[in-house]
Amino acid sequence: MPKTSARLLALLSLLQTRRDWPGSLLADRLDVSLRTVRRDVDRLRELGYPIAAAKGPDGGYRLGAGTELPPLLFDDEQAIALTVALQIAATRTDDGLAEPAARALNTIRQVLPARLRNRVDALRVTAVERPTTRPAAPVDGDVLLALSAAVHARETLRFDYGADSSPRRAEPHHVITWDGRWYLIAFDLDRQDWRTFRADRITLRIPNGPRFTPRELPGGDVAAYVTGVFRGSTDNSGRWPCQGTVILDRSAAEMARYTREGLVEDFGDGRCRLTLGSWSWPGLAAALARYDADLEIVGPRELTDAFAHLGDRFHRAAGALK
99-111: b or e for each residue (b if 16 or more CB lie within 10 Å)? eebeebbeebbee
Looking at the fold, whether 226 and 148 belong to one and the same domain comes out as: yes
pLDDT score at 237: 43
Residue 275, in any domain of the structure? yes
Distance CA 126, CA 119 (A): 17
Cα(first)–Cα(last) distance of the chain, in Å?
A: 95
Helical ranges in the chain per DSSP H: 4-15, 23-30, 34-46, 76-90, 98-111, 114-121, 141-153, 222-230, 252-258, 281-289, 301-319
Does 180 lie in the same domain as 204? Answer: yes
Question: Which conformational region is residue 290 in: left (phi greater than 0), alpha (psi within -120 to 50 degrees), or beta?
Answer: alpha
Residue 156: what pLDDT? 95
The amino acid at residue 146 is A
User: Last residue of a domain, which of 189, 210, 230?
Assistant: 230
- Are the C-beta atoms of 198 and 212 separated by less than 8 Å? no
What pLDDT is recorded for position 236? 41
Distance CA 194, CA 106 (A): 41
Q: Helix (H, G, I), strand (E, B), or coil: what is residue 292?
A: coil
148 and 221 together in one domain: yes
* Residue 236 covered by a domain: no
* Lowest-pLDDT choice from 114-118, 236-240, 272-276: 236-240
Would you say 91 and 101 are in contact if contact means Cβ atoms under 8 Å apart?
Answer: no
Rounded to whole angstroms, the Cα distance separating 60 from 49 reads 16
68 within domain boundaries: no
Given this model, what pLDDT does residue 180 score? 65
Q: How many domains does the chain have?
A: 4
pLDDT of residue 261: 66
Measure the CA–CA gap between 296 and 125, rounded to whole angstroms.
44
Question: Residue 310 is part of which domain span?
Answer: 242-319
- Asked whether residue 273 falls in the same domain as residue 312, the answer is yes
Report how far residue 67's alpha carbon sits from residue 58's, in angstroms, rounded to the nearest whole number: 28
Residue 81 lies in a domain: yes
Give me the percent of the chain exceeding a pLDDT of 90: 14
Over residues 201-218, the pLDDT tens digits come to: 999 998 899 999 999 887
Average pLDDT rounded to a whole number, residues 153-159? 93
pLDDT digits (tens, 9 = 90+) for 167-184: 899 999 988 877 667 889
The CATH number of the domain where 57 resides is what?
A: 1.10.10.10
Contact predicate 94/136, CB 8 Å: yes
Structure confidence at residue 21 as a pLDDT band (50, 70, 90): confident
Res 171: pLDDT: 95
Q: Give the amino acid at 172.
A: P
Work out the percent of the chain whose per-residue pLDDT is above 70. 77
Query: Are 53 and 8 in the same domain?
Result: yes
Q: What is the dihedral of CA 6, 24, 71, 49, to 10 degrees?
A: -130
**97 and 166 belong to one structural domain:** no
- Per-residue pLDDT tens for 226-253? 766 765 444 444 466 788 889 998 887 7
pLDDT for 308: 92
Residue 146 and residue 224 in one domain: yes
Domain assignment of residue 189, yes or no: yes
Residue 133 clears pLDDT 70, i.e. is over it: no
| CATH label of the domain that carries residue 156 | 2.30.30
Higher pLDDT, 102 or 243: 243
Under DSSP, the state recorded for 179 is T
Task: Give yes or no for residue 157 having a pLDDT over 70.
Answer: yes
Q: Domain of 297: which CATH number?
A: 3.30.70
Express each pLDDT in 31-47 by its tens digit: 888 888 888 888 888 87
Residue 128 is assigned to a structural domain of this protein: no
The angle that helices 34-46 and 4-15 make with each other, rounded to 10 degrees, is 80
Residue range 297-315: average pLDDT?
90
Is residue 43 one of the residues assigned to a domain?
yes
Express each pLDDT in 50-97 by its tens digit: 888 877 665 688 877 654 555 666 777 777 777 777 776 776 655 566
Is 175 domain-assigned?
A: yes
